[in-house]
Amino acid sequence: MPSPTPSPVHDVVVVGARAAGAATALLLARLGHDVVVVDRTELPSDTISTHQLARTGMVALQRWGLLDEVIASGAPVIRQVTFHTIGDPGQPPRPPLTRVIKEKSGVDFLAAPRRWVLDTLVARAAQRAGATIRYGVTINGVLRDNTGRVVGVRGYDERDQRVELRARFVVGADGLGSRVARSVGAERIVDRGAPGATLYTYYAGLPWPGIEFVTRTGSLAGVFPTHHGEAAIWVCLPTATLLAARRSRPLQAAFTTLLEQAAPQLAERLRDAARTSPVRGMLRAPNQIRRGVGPGWALVGDAACHGDPVTGHGLSDAYRDAELLAVALDAALTGAAEEREALDGYEQARLRESAEIFDLTCALAQYPPVSTFIELNERLGSAIDAEAAALAARPVPGAAVALA
């Protein structure tokens, strides 16, 4: 392949244009920085995700002026959550409990938009703010100077032409299998294993009044209403249970069996609905945290921290940490703080602010007895409310640009 044309030095190159990457680029561009985002896949396109937004994610989108756009896209406003509990053998059945979503941190509803809608919306907002997005670019390594500092990325485009992008900082927002993380040698500093699995699909043809959770020892199943009158129907369970169900049967049949076991009433209701997508999911969902910063580079989103989908907190993690990283990089780029001080501050903040929910996620992914599972979920709700309140109390990065 011919040598690439020498490129200017950008402020930041972000690898990955989905949740964490697009959000980081959006905020940095609003703060006035020269940002280039690269992704091998063009948006709109889908990705594996349960895609329900916890309150923290909703607060983030509202802060950035994007929540109205999410709802205008057709994502249903969700104002209630119903909890179904199937007790252990010998325990009396519990009646369903429905709770109205209360106003907290300026948000009084939830949403579960499809990822191909949500990610595209945030990426386009980043472009409007001045970020450049280059699709069809696959990154296969980083560039370093003679001190070992990361000064850019290298890869190739859809025409197999070499690409080199130089920047003062490189952000890896390229997911669980992050090439940036591997290239910079970002080791796992926390590894709690991968005991849990998740399967989901979409159904249409029934009314979906709100989010539903069905708790049973050994599983969590539920409903997330989403675009086009559909709902994501999902089941989270131990990996060993899924592997046993997969023996000698296709994935769809295994999903049907597992849902019937985890949520029999929900499975019965779905007999009158139409499945509108293949079954997708993750067989082994790791609970891990990577070192997130180094000379000239930082990680964000699943590249930095990944937890089991049982808590549905991945998007909120990505948006929360995108703000923390954008503020840190802005301080380094403007000289308000030394680079090491700014990056170390981001690292400490993301680890501190993710700790409680990460620990609860790991505990829930062990699928303890129903009573313990419910107690952990109650603690999770309180932790999310505190996290959302802390986010809502901060200055909004680039707020003046967002309002312009």
Portion of the chain with pLDDT greater than 70, in percent = 97
- pLDDT tier at 50, thresholds 50, 70, 90: confident
Q: What number is the average pLDDT over the span 139-161?
A: 97
| pLDDT in the model for residue 404 | 52
| pLDDT in the model for residue 253 | 95
Angle formed by the axes of helices 370-392 and 339-364, nearest 10°: 150
| pLDDT in the model for residue 91 | 76
Selection from 382, 349, 297 nearest residue 54 by Cα: 382
- The Cα 10–Cα 63 span in angstroms is 26
Bridge partners, 39 (sequence order): 135
In the chain, where the domains are located: 9-73+112-191+286-403, 85-108+193-284
Class of domain 85-108+193-284: alpha beta
Q: What number is the average pLDDT over the span 370-398?
A: 97
| pLDDT in the model for residue 51 | 82
- pLDDT tier at 94, thresholds 50, 70, 90: confident
Is residue 40 predicted with pLDDT exceeding 70? yes
- pLDDT tier at 3, thresholds 50, 70, 90: low
- The Cα 57–Cα 227 span in angstroms is 18
Angle formed by the axes of helices 339-364 and 314-334, nearest 10°: 170
Look-up: residue for tokens 């937004």?
Answer: 53
Helix (H, G, I), strand (E, B) or coil at 127: helix
DSSP string, 301-361: GGGTEE--GGG--HHHHHHHHHHHHHHHHHHHHHTSS-HHHHHHHHHHHHHHHHHHHHHHH
Q: Return the amino acid letter for 91.
A: Q
Ranges assigned E (strand) in 255-378: 274-275, 280-285, 288-290, 293-294, 297-299, 305-306
| pLDDT in the model for residue 248 | 81
Helices (H), 133-221: 179-184
CB contact set of 199 (below 8 Å; sequence gap of 6+): 234, 235, 242, 251, 254, 255, 258, 279, 280, 281
Contact 115, 51 (CB under 8 A): yes
Q: Return the amino acid letter for 78.
A: I
| pLDDT in the model for residue 399 | 83
| pLDDT in the model for residue 83 | 97
Q: Which residues of 102-117 are buried (b: 16+ CB within 10 A; e: fewer)?
A: eeebebebbbbbbbbb
Contact 60, 316 (CB under 8 A): yes
Is residue 258 predicted with pLDDT exceeding 70? yes
CB contact set of 301 (below 8 Å; sequence gap of 6+): 16, 18, 19, 20, 21, 173, 175, 317, 318, 321, 322
Average pLDDT of the chain is: 95
Q: Could you report the per-residue pLDDT of 113-133, keeping only the tens digit for each?
A: 999 999 999 999 999 999 999
| pLDDT in the model for residue 324 | 98
Q: Could you report the per-residue pLDDT of 373-386, keeping only the tens digit for each?
A: 999 999 999 999 99
- pLDDT tier at 71, thresholds 50, 70, 90: very high
Look-up: residue for tokens 């959302």?
Answer: 388
9-73+112-191+286-403 under CATH 3.40.50.300, yes or no: no
- pLDDT tier at 7, thresholds 50, 70, 90: low
Contact 242, 206 (CB under 8 A): no
